[in-house]
């Protein structure tokens, strides 16, 4: 019988028929950059536990801050009350995020996006433009699994079944930068973006897009200048810009705040994942004084609030985490490791098993070639992602591919030895596919 029925846990994004009691590990501990299962086997975390882990496990300064907070105040809501960690963290976030002045707290990235969408619609209502209530987003964009987030981040293979729940959103093409090729259709994409905004800006409140790169939609890195241009177009046509830095902010692409790196100040920005190094759930939606002022002017309330908004333990964790970024100069360390990752990826891009490689900072995506995909299916009778997952697991690495794309998203502070091992296992996977060709 499958583990699912034994545990009574319904696992996210799981093929219930593929779940295997004997081989899907039960994780009981974390040590450094490894997850350790109930049988004592250890797995290097190649996807930073769904893209959020920063320091690995057992980071003492963060644990100390969490313990201190637990000893003082375990929970207090933000409904008619404030708490110190949420105030302190908002000051820190505002200091980092140029153009932003106010922080709205939630507990996961999807709801941070819902908050952003509600702010944008209500902003135009506050400014007596209620007809501006539609959204524009990008093809291949992903923003989470709640209803609004699925509407703007519509990935058909995940969400087509939920379509009756979703609102209609105009979708623009998005560019993708390969390792050693310039983007040839950037001009076309920008022209289409402009002509769409020109046509529908009267009814559009905001454009929603990931900042710097799209990850869940297939690891698509924006070429230089693209996001800046979209920001300029959003200003030109009077449409708010909502940037999603939930997966790409705080170092993943090599910058602390990716929109600053891209020269594109948004009206609203969302952060999550690495914000707490993965130690507690927390997400934030930041906005500028103009949007906040529209609520003041109209005496309007934002009807959004969660039980765990501004959770003191989450906020104390994030404060300690951000302090460590500075203390350990994490961004410098990332820039060195990013160079190493790129060098290793160049070795893989000529393999017949690989059709396309993308990389930025601590993020990489490698597509298995058409021939490779056919060979895996023929040779194993199973899906490509399970094939990759199993080889990695047998080599002591936790990897979760996106369909036919191997995604490399290690904990940001991973040490060189473990990073080398992770990339060597990617090499092993590629060799195994080559042997099937």
Ligand X SMILES: Cc1ncc(COP(=O)(O)O)c(C=O)c1O
Which residues of this chain interact with ligand X, rule CB under 6 A? 108-110, 113, 142-144, 210, 215-216, 244, 246-247, 272
Distance CA 244, CA 258 (A): 10
Backbone phi, psi, residue 212, to 5° = 90, -40
212 Cβ contact partners less than 8 Å away, ≥ 6 residues apart: 221, 222, 227, 245, 248, 253, 255, 258, 259, 261, 262, 360
> Of 270 and 330, which CB lies nearer to ligand X in the complex structure?
270
Q: Where are the beta strands (DSSP E) in 11-158?
A: 27-31, 34-37, 42-45, 102-106, 134-138
**CA 202-262-95 angle, 5° bins:** 95
Output 143 or 311, the one with its CB closest to ligand X: 143
**Cβ at position 50, least distance to ligand X in Å:** 6
Smallest gap from Cβ 403 to ligand X, in A, equals 15
Residue of this chain nearest to ligand X (CB atom): 109
Minimum distance from residue 281 beta carbon to ligand X (Å) = 7
Give the per-residue SS3 of 211-222: CCEECCCCCEEC
Neighbours of 413 (CB within 10 A): 23
| Nearest one of 50, 62, 161, 164 to 110, comparing CA atoms | 50
> Residue 113 or residue 320: which is nearer to ligand X going by CB?
113
Residue 247 beta carbon to ligand X: minimum distance, rounded to whole angstroms: 3
Residue placing its CB nearer to ligand X in the complex, 201 or 262:
262
Nearer to ligand X (CB atom), residue 6 or residue 13: 13
The answer to whether 211 and 259 have CB atoms below 8 angstroms apart is yes
Alpha helices in 267-369 (DSSP H): 289-298, 312-327, 330-348
Phi, psi of 138 (to 5 degrees): -105, 145
Where helices occur in 243-303 by DSSP H, the ranges are: 258-261, 289-298
Tell me how far, at minimum, the Cβ of 253 lies from ligand X, in Å.
12
Of the two residues 231 and 391, which places its CB atom closer to ligand X in the complex?
Answer: 231
Cβ at position 275, least distance to ligand X in Å: 10
Q: Residue 163 has which token pair?
A: 């379509």
Query: Least separation, in Å, of the C-beta of 337 and ligand X?
Result: 21
Compute the least distance from the CB of residue 52 to ligand X, in Å.
Answer: 8
Residue nearer to ligand X on the CB measure, 56 or 109? 109
**What span, in angstroms and rounded, lies between the C-alpha atoms of 120 and 124?**
7
Which CB sits closer to ligand X, 134 or 143?
A: 143
Give the distance from CA 37 to its chain's centroid. Answer: 26
Of 136 and 247, the one with the shorter C-beta distance to ligand X is: 247
Q: How far apart are CA 365 and CA 352, in angstroms?
A: 16
Q: What is the nearest approach in angstroms of ligand X to the Cβ of residue 189? A: 19
What pairing do the DSSP bridges indicate for beta strands 42-45 and 397-398? parallel
């Amino acid at each position: 019988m499958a583990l699912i029925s034994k545990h009574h846990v319904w696992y996210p994004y799981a093929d219930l028929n593929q779940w295997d009691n004997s081989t899907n590990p039960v994780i009981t501990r974390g040590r450094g950059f490894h997850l350790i299962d109930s049988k004592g086997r250890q797995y290097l975390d190649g996807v930073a536990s769904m893209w959020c882990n920063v320091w690995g496990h057992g980071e003492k300064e963060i644990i100390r801050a969490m313990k201190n907070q637990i000893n003082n105040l375990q929970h207090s809501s933000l409904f008619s009350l404030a708490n110190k960690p949420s105030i302190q963290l908002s000051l820190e976030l505002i200091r980092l995020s140029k153009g932003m002045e106010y922080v709205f707290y939630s507990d996961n990235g999807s709801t941070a996006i819902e908050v952003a969408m509600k702010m944008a619609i209500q902003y135009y209502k506050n400014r007596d433009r209620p007809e501006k209530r539609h959204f524009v987003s990008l093809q291949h964009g992903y923003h989470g699994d709640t209803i609004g987030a699925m509407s703007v981040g519509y990935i058909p293979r995940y969400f087509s079944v939920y379509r009756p729940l979703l609102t209609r959103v105009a979708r623009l093409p998005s560019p993708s930068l390969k390792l050693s090729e310039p983007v040839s259709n950037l001009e076309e994409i920008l022209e289409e973006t402009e002509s769409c905004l020109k046509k529908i800006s009267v009814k559009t409140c905001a454009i929603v897009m990931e900042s710097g790169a799209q990850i869940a939609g297939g690891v698509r890195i924006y070429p230089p200048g693209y996001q800046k241009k979209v920001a300029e177009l959003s200003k030109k046509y009077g449409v708010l810009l909502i940037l999603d830095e939930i997966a790409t902010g705080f170092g993943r692409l090599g910058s602390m705040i990716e929109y600053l790196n891209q020269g594109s100040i948004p009206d609203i920005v969302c952060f999550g994942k690495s914000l707490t190094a993965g130690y507690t759930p927390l997400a934030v939606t930041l906005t500028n004084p103009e949007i906040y002022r529209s609520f003041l002017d109209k005496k309007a309330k934002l009807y959004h609030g969660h039980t765990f908004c501004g959770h003191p333990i989450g906020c104390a964790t994030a404060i300690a985490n951000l302090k460590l970024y500075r203390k350990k100069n994490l961004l410098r360390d990332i820039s060195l490791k990013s160079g190493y990752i790129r060098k290793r990826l160049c070795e893989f891009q000529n393999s017949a098993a690989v059709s396309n490689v993308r990389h930025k900072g601590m993020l990489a995506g490698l597509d298995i070639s058409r021939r490779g995909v056919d060979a895996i299916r023929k040779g194993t009778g199973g899906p490509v992602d399970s094939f990759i997952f199993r080889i990695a697991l047998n080599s002591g690495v936790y990897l979760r591919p996106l369909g036919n794309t191997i995604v490399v998203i290690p904990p940001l502070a991973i040490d060189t030895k473990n990073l080398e091992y992770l990339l060597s296992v990617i090499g092993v996977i590629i060799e195994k596919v080559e042997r099937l060709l």
